Chains A and B, each alone.
Chain A
């Protein structure tokens, strides 16, 4: 081999190395981007709190014992503490850059924790001021209100002078994703309930019962075509078929979780059918013949001999399908809608995690931080599912020799 040839070969090989590195770079860039933007908000509270802030107008009962808790050591420099009321307040900015007062700490014996009631509820049920809440206004009986625009220090000073107040306006921080997580779980459950039986039965029919003829071929290719249809088209179908259907037969009055699950089920059918069929194909014919020869009928053979061998395939299909449900956005935007909700009903609108991101990104201004946090959660789940699929198919695939 000439030296020139060697050099040229090396260059060609180098090009393939460079091309292959693109995939690695892209994947790591996606990870780094999403994690650096999203990890700031990532905590357990996020998945248990509501998205929409809740407003409270609270009154207070007569206080006979004020707080005695000393200032906790872990409070920051610019946090103001009132020993009398047992709360710590700080100035901060919300996402739109407006100044707000956040509650940093509430002591156990604080009157604001034990003696407040909700003025808007009929039976004046007790409520508590909690850490993370945002304080709006405190209205007093005999002097002007303390407003949040004058800052945390002013508000605490005003509060310290008094022994009671007429009304405290505060609201929860919001920005949680509890509702979207519940919706996503509903969607996964309902979609699987619809798609798994139909998909598995179809795969069994195509692989076990179907005669080899034109009709079977047409059925097969009609299912095959579904794989190439973009998800937004499935969304349009959901809007045109499943939404009217659910509106007619359920209490729903517009896009809802059931119509979304039906749409997703159609998207997932080809995935489930193909994966199940693959695993049915590797079951040797000798198994079927042996079962039939022992006097079992076709049904028994299918359910007791063939299907158990297909379990890993069905499991793989289920895992892949769950990943698709979590990641799907375009179809659900049409089939359910984009309104982020906290109280979830399967007959009502709400967003899955992916659509939640879309809603946040199309808002003005876009909430990239929370969107990235949700993306982190989605990425971790989807990638874990994919690795799990690899493990399952490696471990459970029976080798028939």
Chain B
């Protein structure tokens, strides 16, 4: 005990502490700071380690197979020419296009439905119905993505398959661009609805009252004044929704059909996204076929970053209206 006491006294002198309490305060504070730094460091760890593994195919000769050409990788229209373990001819160009194309359409379906639902919950619905719908949206957001995947591959694939038949197109059991779009649209709907509702509710009441005083009806006010005042918040909802659509993995991989070349622009064609490609062929644990997955992950992170920046840029252009 005396040894510890001596240590504490020395410690106190060194840092100018006046009492034992201050020493404890200092230690606790440092400990808490360390956990905070640990929490914050994970984003750096993610970027460093994925980048470190992701560049291996481009800078080493991959055990004699040869370096992957970065330009060909980014613009390639075939995932893999040749056979696995033997080829360095990987390409993700078409997969990037597929991913953006699919996410755009998912957003196109989900945005109007989500924003109108949000408007309904925030402004139009009676209190009880609004509360019920809010719970429904929360539950939808809580449904795990694998369950959406199961639902998609059971019900939506059948739906798309029959739809394709009506159009006289042969679809691969329903695995198609359209199926992925529909599943993603369902998955991002709760995100968009919840965030839009917050945006709509935080619109300044004065603007609304002004519109009503000028003789506009409630509905006119809701659609023309409230929605356009909340557009900045609604844009944020779109950004988050898009992020979720771009990064969604398991559900997409169950309905995409895993096209190996593309891009797939027709709605009944099979397709593949960056995430579904990463989930392909998990059996390899070594070599280029393993490392290339990290390269695709890196591409995914860059794609998400760029689409976020673009939407944020548009959001700034669209401008901000007086909100609380």
Contacts and interface: CB of A to CB of B under 8 A. Distances in A.
Q: Looking at A12, A24, A237, which has the most chain B CB atoms within 10 Å of its CB?
A: A237
Nearest to A330: B249
Given A20-B116, A329-B144, A371 B35 contact: no
Nearest to A216: B36
Contacts of A27: 136, 139-140, 143
Nearest to A301: B25
B35 A205 contact: yes
B85 interface: no
Interface residues of A, number: 86
A200 to B, nearest CB: 9
Main secondary structure of the interface of B (DSSP, over half): helix
B: contact size bracket = 35 or more
A212 interface: no
Given A23-B140, A338-B282, A368-B154, A230 B304 contact: yes
A226 B42 CA distance: 8
B36 A237 contact: no
Given A237-B46, A329-B146, A382-B142, A204 B189 contact: no
A84 B312 CA distance: 79
A361 B146 CA distance: 10
Contacts of B306: none
Interface of B: 21-22, 24-25, 28-29, 31-33, 35-46, 49-50, 52-53, 112-114, 116-117, 119-121, 124-125, 133, 135-140, 142-151, 153-155, 186, 189-190, 193, 217-220, 222-223, 240, 243-244, 246-250, 254, 275, 278-279, 282, 285, 293-294, 297, 300-301, 304, 308
Given A198-B39, A205-B36, A302-B28, 19 more contacts: A12-B223, A19-B112, A27-B140, A27-B143, A202-B35, A205-B33, A210-B36, A223-B39, A228-B304, A229-B43, A231-B249, A232-B247, A233-B50, A237-B42, A358-B149, A362-B254, A375-B146, A382-B143, A386-B138
Interface of A: 1, 5, 8-9, 12-13, 15-20, 22-24, 26-27, 29-30, 33-34, 37, 197-199, 201-202, 204-206, 209-210, 218-220, 222-223, 225-226, 228-234, 236-237, 240-241, 254, 266, 269, 273, 297-299, 302, 323, 326-330, 333, 337-338, 354-355, 357-358, 361-362, 366, 368, 371-372, 375, 378-379, 382-383, 385-387, 390
